[in-house]
A and B are shown apart, each in its own frame.
Chain A
Amino acid sequence: MMKITVNNRTLEVSGERTLLEELRDAGCDIPSLCYAGKAKHEASCMVCMVRDVATSQMLPSCSTFPTEGMQLDTESEDVKNMRRMSLELLLSDHRADCEAPCVVVCPAKIDVARVILHYDRGQMDKAKAVLRETASADQLPCVGCKASCEKACRRGTLDTAVSVRAIIEEVAKYKAEIPNTASSAAKVQHSFSSKLGRYSEAEKEWLKEVYNQPSRCLHCACEGKDKCKLREYASQAGIKSSRYGVSSHQMVKEQQHVSGRLYYEPAKCVRCGLCVYNSRNGFTFQHRGFDMQVLIPEENKAHIDEHLADLCPTGALFLRQD
Chain B
Amino acid sequence: MKDMTGCNCDCLSGGQEAMTRRTDAIIDRTGTTRDKLIPLLQAIQQEFSYLPSDALNRLYERTEIDRAQLISVSTFYSQFRLAPYGKHIIKVCIGTACHVKGADAVYDAFKRELGLAADSITTADQQYSIERVACLGCCALAPVVQIDDKIFGHVQPGRVREVLDEFESLAASRAQEKEEEQSKDVQGEVRLGMENCCQASGTAEVHEAVVQACRELGINIRIKPISCVGACNQVPLIDVATPDGNIVRYPNIKPDEVKEILLHHFRPASRLRRLRNAILNHIDTFHTDQTWDNILFTPEKERTQSINTFLGGQYRISTEGYGHLNPLDIDEYISMGGFEALRKALTTMSREQIVDEVLKSGIRGRGGGGFPTGRKWQMVSRGDSKEKYVICNGDEGDPGAFMDRILLESYPLRVIEGMIIAGRATGATEGIFYIRAEYPQAVIRIRKALDMCRQKHLLGQHILDSDFSFDIQVFEGAGAFVCGEETALIASIEGKRGFPHLRPPYPAQSGLFGKPTLINNVETLSQISYIIRHGAEQYTKIGTEGSRGTKVFALAGKINHGGLIEVPMGTTLRQIVEEIGGGVEGGESLKAVQTGGPSGGCIPAELCDAEVDFDALNKMGAIMGSGGLVVLSESSCMVDVARYFLNFTSEESCGKCTFCRVGIRRMLDILDRLSTGQGKMEDIDRLEELALSIKRAALCGLGKTAPNPVLSTLRYFRHEYEEHVQGICRTGSCKQMVKLLITDDCVGCTKCARSCPNEAIAYTPYQKHIIDTSLCTQCGLCIDECDYHAIKKVKK
Contact = CB atoms under 8 A, between A and B. Distances in A.
A46 interface: yes
A57 B696 contact: yes
B497 A285 contact: yes
A44 B657 contact: yes
Nearest to B668: A290
B669 A247 contact: yes
B342 to A, nearest CB: 38
B655 A93 contact: no
Interface in B629-665: 650-659, 661-665
A167 interface: no
A282 B69 CA distance: 9
Interface string A276-308: 100111111111111110010101100000000
Contacts of A290: 650, 653, 655, 661-662, 664-665
B699 interface: yes
B72 interface: yes
Contact of A44 (B656, B665, B690): B656
A288 B71 contact: no
Nearest to A286: B75
Nearest to A290: B665
A243 B699 contact: no
B666 interface: yes
Given A82-B697, A92-B666, A284-B68, A46 B658 contact: yes
B58 to A, nearest CB: 15
Contacts of A276: 68, 72
Contact of B658 (A90, A279, A297, A299): A90
Given A89-B666, A290-B665, A297 B71 contact: yes
Contacts of B665: 93, 289-290
Interface stretch (B166-174, B437-445, B498-506): B498-506
Range for the number of chain B residues in contact with chain A: 35 or more
Contact of A86 (B502, B659, B664): B659
A282 B68 contact: yes
Nearest to A270: B658
Contacts of B281: none
A89 B697 contact: no
A223 to B, nearest CB: 24
Interface stretch (A4-12, A60-68, A108-116, A198-206): A60-68
Contacts of A211: none
Contacts of B650: 289-290
A56 interface: yes
A269 B42 CA distance: 31
Contacts of A92: 662, 666
A49 interface: yes
Nearest to B502: A63
A43 interface: yes
Interface string B445-483: 000000000000000000000000000000000001010
B16 interface: no
B72 A285 contact: yes
Given A289-B652, A290-B661, A292-B661, A284 B72 contact: yes
Contacts of A273: 656
A227 interface: no
Contacts of A280: 68
B406 to A, nearest CB: 28
B67 A284 contact: yes
Given A45-B658, A290-B653, A64 B68 contact: no
A244 interface: yes
Contacts of B792: none
B653 A288 contact: yes
Which of B501, B659, B661 counts the most chain A CB atoms within 10 A?
Answer: B661
B66 interface: yes
B85 interface: no
Contacts of B669: 244, 247
B309 interface: no
Given A46-B697, A289-B650, A300 B67 contact: yes
Nearest to A298: B67
Contacts of A42: 499, 501, 656
Contacts of A287: 75-76, 655
B686 interface: yes
Contacts of B497: 285, 288
A244 B666 contact: yes
A85 interface: yes
B353 interface: no
B693 interface: yes
A268 B47 CA distance: 40
A271 interface: yes
Nearest to B667: A244
B657 A299 contact: no
Contacts of A286: 71-72, 75
B137 to A, nearest CB: 22
A284 B71 contact: yes
B697 A86 contact: yes
A219 B437 CA distance: 48
A243 B686 contact: yes
Contacts of B501: 42-43
A311 B654 CA distance: 23
A65 B663 contact: no
Contacts of A86: 658-659, 697
Contacts of A244: 666, 669
Interface string B58-77: 00000000111101100110
Interface in B657-686: 657-659, 661-666, 669, 686
Interface in B281-315: none
Nearest to A242: B666
Contacts of B659: 46, 86, 89
A58 interface: yes
Given A284-B68, A284-B69, A295-B71, A289 B666 contact: no
Nearest to B686: A243
Interface in A13-54: 42-47, 49
A60 B698 CA distance: 10
A71 to B, nearest CB: 16
A63 B66 CA distance: 28
A184 B652 CA distance: 50
Contacts of A44: 656-658, 699
21 contacts: A44-B657, A45-B657, A60-B699, A63-B502, A89-B659, A90-B662, A273-B656, A281-B69, A283-B68, A285-B71, A286-B71, A288-B480, A288-B497, A288-B654, A289-B655, A289-B661, A290-B655, A290-B664, A290-B665, A291-B655, A297-B68
Question: What are the 4 closest A-B residue pairs judged by CB atoms, nearest first?
Answer: A292-B655, A284-B68, A289-B653, A281-B66
Given A49-B697, A273-B656, 8 more contacts: A44-B656, A46-B697, A82-B696, A86-B658, A89-B659, A270-B658, A279-B68, A286-B75
Interface of B: 66-69, 71-72, 75-76, 480, 482, 497-499, 501-502, 504, 650-659, 661-666, 669, 686, 690, 693, 696-697, 699
Interface of A: 42-47, 49, 56-58, 60, 63-65, 82, 85-86, 89-90, 92-93, 243-244, 247, 270-271, 273, 276, 279-292, 295, 297, 299-300
